[in-house]
Each structure stands twice: as structure tokens, then as C-alpha cells.
A and B are shown apart, each in its own frame.
Chain A
Amino acid sequence: MTDPLLSLEDVRAGYGMTEVLQGVSMDVERGSVVSLVGRNGVGKTTTLRSIVGNITPNGGSITFNGEDITTLTSETTIRRGIGFVPEERRIFPELTVRENIRMGEIGSESPDGPSVDDVLDMFENLAEREHRDGSVLSGGEQQMLAVGRALTADPDLLLLDEPTEGLAPYVVRQIEDLIRELNEQGITVLVVEQNIPVALEVSEYTYILEKGKIVHEGTAAEIQDDEDVLDRHLGVGVTD
């Protein structure tokens, strides 16, 4: 059994004095799609930001591909082969679609990744708007663009933070398909989601975060059927 691609061990992290993560441990196996769910405010985004290096953990360790990346800066971490698609996409509004993707390519150390044209081929609607500014794209298109930007770096691991937020149902389906497709191409995916059905649909394994700790984990199928767990940790509580 190979080591997990990404491993968090008892990670404690936060902003200033607020310690949002109070000992998070989780593994992401190579080639899998793992989801991290929980109600808002529990620390899902903080977890991703800690992995990427926007935040330096106060305690614990994060290992990627056998290397300890806990204290690396984000530029360095990304270059190790992690693609990051943050909450709200954060595409560069005054750069064109092409330029946005190019930014991802520049940041990459690997010459093997898809070129800008390759990515445009993948996403038809982006190709159509190749020279338009990022700000004029719709939410779904921006999401695709953010993913495309991350893909040019040929990542081993793709981190997605709430990729379906604010998107119409049919776009959500497209995102789900995209995630599956990328996974089939060999990319490991860790997706943070507040949308439970989506999370359980695309992932094989699920971690549930509550108040800065993992309170439950299991295969998506198991969790899907476990109403008690769903209500307790993700819903509005169990009715006695």
C-alpha cells in the first residue's frame, strides 16, 4: 500500500489569535477524489489555505509526496505540484482568459503540463472568449478558468474550494463531470464543499469537519446512507 499523496497530521492553524483548526488529521490517497465537508465556519477553507501555505500552521505537520511542506511558502508549495482553485475563483479580472491561464503556466516548474492552447481546447466556452477580460465571464466560466489556470501547472493534486458555490444546477453538473474527468486523467482531487450532494456524488471518501476537528470520516456511500451522521454534523442536529 502506497503512502497517501497528501497527509495532514494534527494540524493546528488559524488567524492571529483565533485557532480555527484544532488538530486536523486526514489522508488523501493517490488517484482518489476526497471531499472535505462541514458547515460554514468550521475551518474548511482554513485547511486548504494551510496546505497551500497561505497560513503557516501553529502545530502539526503536512506531508505531500513524502515531503514535509508544513512551513513552505505558497509559491514553493504550488511548484511541488499542487493546483489551487480558491473560494470565489479569484481569477485576475483585468487579465484576459488567455493571460489568466498563462499565469498558471508561468508558475509551473513542470514542462509536461497542458499548454494554454491545450486548456482552451478542453474548455470550449473559454476558447470562445479567449481575449475577453476575466471579469466579463459568468460564474461558471470563471470557475472553469480558475481550474484551467491550475491545470497548466500539471498538478498531482488539485485543491478545489467550494467549486459549485453560486452556480446554477446545470453548471454544477458540468463541474462534477469535470472533476471526474480530471480524476480519470490521473489527478488526485481534494474538494471542499458545503453542497453535500455534490460532495458525496464526486468523491469516494469524505471527511467531516466540525469546530476545527475531523468528527467523522468514511466512504461517500456510507455517509450518504447514514442519516444520523448527516443530521448531527451537517444538518440542524438530531431530533431526539
Chain B
Amino acid sequence: MTETVLETDGLTKRFGKLTAVDDVSLSVADGEFRSVIGPNGAGKTTTFNLITGALSPSEGVVRFKGEDITNVAPHERVGRGLGRSFQITNVFGGLTVRENVRLAAQSVHSDEINPGEALFRDKNGFDEITEQTGTVLEQIGLRDRADEHAEALAYGDQRRLELGLVLATDPDLIMLDEPTAGMSSEETQATMNLIDDVLSDRSLMLIEHDIDLVMRVSDRITVLTRGEELASGTPEEIANNEDVRDAYLGGVRE
């Protein structure tokens, strides 16, 4: 019996009179690739933010690896193994590629660094962190460009770096927020290949608009509409689901 890495129970978020997320209960198994799709305003991003901790729920519970993290601060969730990538590339532009990755790696080793070292020891003097940084750079294919400033990178490479930042925090579950937004078909393919290469042994939760992509890569898909969970199932089940079709096409068949 596979373990559940993430579970939400009755997750609800209200903004004044608007209920953005309504009683969403889903569970993601360990190692699963879950995608969340839905027409505009479906509540995908809000759900995402509730899970990562950027927002706190009006009602409901979020459980990660069996533990209740509903009231845990975002940075701490990362420490427990819940990573996220950003839609609009959010790397540390003025810092080098290497430094970007190193910072991410450093954060998961924070506990091992005592206050004195934190203030005075050369940041590059921590072997484990340095090693991890090197490994991740290799994995995302940016070792050769490690000493360039992040904002000087081409868009595609910045996306890689973004993934590298997530990877370096050694997460068990990775939340990917529209990783292929604004990309051409070729770039999309390359990105998904990369995700497959480096993140495949972890659990993944993806928000995407690119349905073709989602259908191809997901183990399971959850469809949200108007804040509610409409359906969950394998890509095939979802593609054949009349309710889902209606949600997207608005009953055009009539």
C-alpha cells in the first residue's frame, strides 16, 4: 500500500463573499505525478497557495507525510520536504547561478550550522553543501554556466535554474506552478524532459493549462471548477468524462 504524501481534507478558502476553494479533499500518493487543471477561476492557484502555505485556509486541513501542516509557516514546509517552483521565473537575478543553487542547498542544512558559523564561517566552506550544489548543477545542466549572473541567462536556462532551486532543497513533494508558461512546443518538451530526468523519483503536483502535456505526463489528474473538485482520475478517465468536457466546452454540443 503506497503511502500518501499529501492530503487535503475539506480545504476551503473564502475572500469576503467569494469562495475561491470549496471543500477540496484530495490525496496524492507517494511517487505520483498529479496534475491539477480546470477552466479559468477554477481555484487552482489558490489551492496551490493553500498547500504551500502562501495562504491560510478558512477551513480544512492539509496533511503532509502524515503530519498536519495547516498552520505551519511556508519556509518550514520547505524544510519538511514540500518544495515549489514559480510560474514567473523567480531566481536571484543579481547572484550567480552557483550561488542560487548553493543558497537552496544551504537552507536544508541550516540546522547543522551553529550561530557562530552562520555569521563567520565562509559560506563555501561547508563540504556537504558544496557537494550538493555541484550535483544539482550537473543535473540541471548548468555546471558550465555556474559563474554567470542568473539574470544574464536565457529564459530556458533560467527555468532550469528555477527547477534547480527546488531540487536543491531535496523535496519529497514538488509543486510546479505552470512550469511551461510562455514556452514554445519545443521548449515545453525540453522542460518536461528535464523534469522527468531530475524529478521523476519524487512526487509531483502540477498546475498547467497545456492539456496535451498534462494528458501525456500525469499519473492522475484532478479537475477543479469554480473552486470545487469536479473529477479525479487517470488521463483516460478524465478525457472521457462528460462533466469535464462540459466544464471546458460549456455544453456546446447541444
Contact = CB atoms under 8 A, between A and B. Distances in A.
A212 interface: yes
Contacts of A194: 39-40
Contacts of A236: 37, 211, 215, 223, 238-239, 241, 244-245, 248
A235 B248 contact: yes
B40 A40 contact: yes
B87 to A, nearest CB: 9
B27 interface: no
A234 B248 contact: yes
A224 B182 contact: no
A17 interface: yes
A18 B182 contact: yes
B155 A196 contact: no
B5 to A, nearest CB: 25
A42 interface: yes
Interface string B60-91: 00000000000000000000000000001100
A227 B158 CA distance: 38
Nearest to A43: B182
B236 interface: yes
A105 to B, nearest CB: 32
Nearest to B182: A18
Contact of B251 (A17, A162, A197): A197
B252 interface: yes
B252 A166 contact: no
A196 B249 contact: yes
Nearest to A21: B182
A67 interface: no
B18 to A, nearest CB: 9
Contacts of A224: 252
A234 B253 CA distance: 13
A22 interface: yes
Given A39-B211, A239-B239, A230 B252 contact: yes
A121 interface: no
B209 A40 contact: yes
Interface residues of B, number: 35
Interface string B223-247: 1000000000001101111001100
Given A18-B181, A18-B182, A211-B185, A42 B155 contact: no
Contact of B212 (A18, A197, A234, A237): A237
Interface string B93-127: 00000000000000000000000000000000000
Contact of A42 (B209, B241, B248): B209
Contact of A197 (B188, B244, B250): B250
Contacts of A39: 39, 209, 211, 248
B147 interface: no
Interface string B121-164: 00000000000000000000000000000000001001000000
B211 A197 contact: no
A41 B181 contact: yes
A149 B115 CA distance: 61
Contacts of B41: 165-166
A238 B248 CA distance: 13
A17 B211 contact: no
B178 interface: yes
Q: By CB atoms of chain A within 10 A, which of B182, B212, B241 has the most?
A: B182
Interface in A180-223: 194-198, 200, 211-212
A116 to B, nearest CB: 31
Contacts of A20: 181-182
Nearest to A200: B252
11 contacts: A19-B184, A40-B209, A42-B209, A194-B39, A197-B251, A197-B252, A230-B249, A236-B37, A236-B239, A236-B244, A237-B235
Interface of B: 37, 39-41, 88-89, 155, 158, 178, 181-185, 188, 209-212, 215, 223, 235-236, 238-241, 244-245, 248-253
Q: Which 10 A-B pairs have the closest CB atoms?
A: A41-B209, A18-B182, A40-B40, A17-B155, A197-B250, A235-B248, A239-B239, A20-B182, A196-B250, A237-B215
Given A211-B184, A237-B212, 13 more contacts: A17-B155, A19-B184, A40-B209, A42-B209, A194-B39, A196-B250, A198-B250, A211-B185, A212-B182, A231-B245, A236-B211, A236-B223, A236-B245
